[in-house]
A = this chain, B = another copy of it.
Amino acid sequence: MSKKPLNIGLVGYGFMGRTHTNGYKRVADFFPELGITPVLKAVCGRSEEKTKAFAEQWGYESYETDWEKLIARDDIDAIDICTPNDTHAPISIAAAKAGKMILCEKPISRTTAEGEEMVAAVEQAGVPNTVWYNYRRLPAVTLAKQIIDSGKLGKIYHYRANFLQDWTISADLPQGGAALWRLDAAAAGSGVTGDLLAHCIDTAIWLNGGITDVSAMTETFIKERMHQLTGKVEKVGIDDACAFMCHFANGSLGLFESTRYARGHKALYTFEINGADASLRWDLHDLNRLEMYDHSDEGPQRGWKSIHVTDGEHPYMSHWWVPGLIIGYEHSFVHQVADFLKALEEGKPCEPTFKSALETAKVCDAVLESGKTRQWKNV
Q: Are A219 and B253 in contact (CB under 8 A)?
A: yes
Q: Are A376 and B374 in contact (CB under 8 A)?
A: yes
Which residues of chain A from 287 to 346 have a CB within 8 Å of any chain B CB? 287, 289-295, 297, 299-311, 313-314, 320-331
CB within 8 A of A285: which of B164, B291, B324? Answer: B324
- Closest B residue by C-beta to A28: B57
- Closest B residue by C-beta to A214: B217
- Copies of this chain, complex-wide, total 4
Q: Are A284 and B329 in contact (CB under 8 A)?
A: no
- Closest B residue by C-beta to A268: B324
Is A19 engaged at the interface, CB distance under 8 Å to the other chain? Answer: yes
Which residues of chain A from 20 to 60 have a CB within 8 Å of any chain B CB? 21-22, 25-26, 28-29, 32, 56-59
- Closest B residue by C-beta to A15: B322
Is A276 engaged at the interface, CB distance under 8 Å to the other chain? Answer: yes
CA distance A262 to B328 in the complex (A): 26
Tell me which residues across on chain B come within 8 A of A216, comparing CB atoms: 245
| Contacts known (A241-B158, A266-B323, A329-B326); A299 close to B284, Cβ less than 8 A | no
| Contacts known (A263-B278, A266-B308, A276-B263); A330 close to B323, Cβ less than 8 A | no
CA distance A367 to B309 in the complex (A): 34
| Contacts known (A261-B158, A276-B263, A279-B263); A300 close to B295, Cβ less than 8 A | no
CB within 8 A of A307: which of B158, B284, B302, B331? Answer: B302
Is A206 engaged at the interface, CB distance under 8 Å to the other chain? Answer: no
Give 15 CB contacts A-B under 8 Å: A29-B57, A143-B300, A160-B257, A167-B323, A169-B276, A217-B253, A241-B253, A255-B255, A263-B274, A264-B278, A300-B307, A300-B309, A301-B307, A320-B330, A327-B329
